[in-house]
Amino acid sequence: MSTSLTAPYTTAFDFERTVGPRIGVFLAGLRERRLLGVRGSRGRVLCPVAEFDPVTAEATGDYVELDPVGTVTAWTWVDPRPADPLDSPFAWALVRIDGADDSFFHRVDTGGDPSLLSSGLRVRVRWAAETVGSIEDIVCFEPVTDDEPSGSAPSGSAP
């Protein structure tokens, strides 16, 4: 059986992308290594910042500065692939940031040990060496060690 012609291609989005007004503020915050949430409907705090409340579709309101610390609510353990910034196996997880009412989707690095992961694991943000105003300014979350102090920003204060 003959085979059809094939040619290699690479998928890419090589354009500047315009961000929304609130997502832009959130990403600019990451560039300064600050984690912002936003008030949605009925006072719920959303982190990462959304332009519109996911339940009511109303425009979101004021920003809230949050500690870059939270709790794992769900996870899945995977092997790293060439494009991933981590070399050992890690988790994709939902992390509920302290003071937020929804969850943040990102990586959790436990040094390749899946037994450390559980619902309720306390984690903090690991910032990139160089921040540019992108979700990738957060490399991953990592477990909070017992002897480290909490974050410096008072939860719930205006930025």
Partner 1 sequence: MREVGVVAFAQSDCLAANRGDDMADILAPVIAEAVASLGIERSDIDFFCSGSHDFHEGRTFAYIESLDSVGAWPPISESHVEMDAAWAVNEAWSWLQLGEGDVALVYGIGRGSLATDPDQVSHTLLDPYYLAPLHPHRHAIAGLQAQALLAAGVTTEAALAQVVARSLAAALGNPHAQRSGSHAVHDLLAQPYVASPLRAHDAAPLGDAAAVLVLAAGDRARELAARAGRRPAWIRAMDHRMATHYPGSRDLTRLETVEVAAQRATRMAGFAPADVDVAELHTEYSHAEPMLVQALGLPVGTTLNPSGGPLAGNPTTATGLIRLGEAADRIADGSARRALAHATSGPALQHNMVSLLEGEE
| Residues contributing to the site for partner 1 (CB under 8 A) | 1-4, 6, 8-11, 13, 17, 19, 23, 27, 46, 48, 50, 54-55, 73-78, 81, 83-84, 92-94, 102-107, 114, 119, 134-136
Tokens of 18: 């315009």
Work out how close the CB of 60 gets to partner 1 at its nearest, in angstroms, rounded to a whole number: 12
Read off the DSSP letter of residue 43. Answer: G
- Compare residues 55 and 116 and give the one whose CB is closer to partner 1: 55
Largest CA distance in the chain: 68
CA atoms of 138 and 122, how far apart (whole Å): 16
Kindly state the smallest distance separating residue 25's Cβ from partner 1, in Å.
12
Rounded alpha-carbon distances, angstroms, from residue 84 to 13, 108, 113, 119, 139: 18, 12, 17, 23, 10
Quick one: 81 or 129, whose CB is closer to partner 1? Answer: 81
- Tokens read off for 132: 């540019």
Taking the complex as a whole, the smallest distance from the CB of residue 66 to partner 1 amounts, in Å, to: 14
Residue 150 C-beta: closest distance to partner 1, Å: 22
Q: Is 132 helix (H, G, I), strand (E, B) or coil?
A: coil
- CB nearer to partner 1: pick between 61 and 114: 114
- Nearer Cβ to partner 1, position 19 or 153? 19
d(CA 143, CA 145): 6
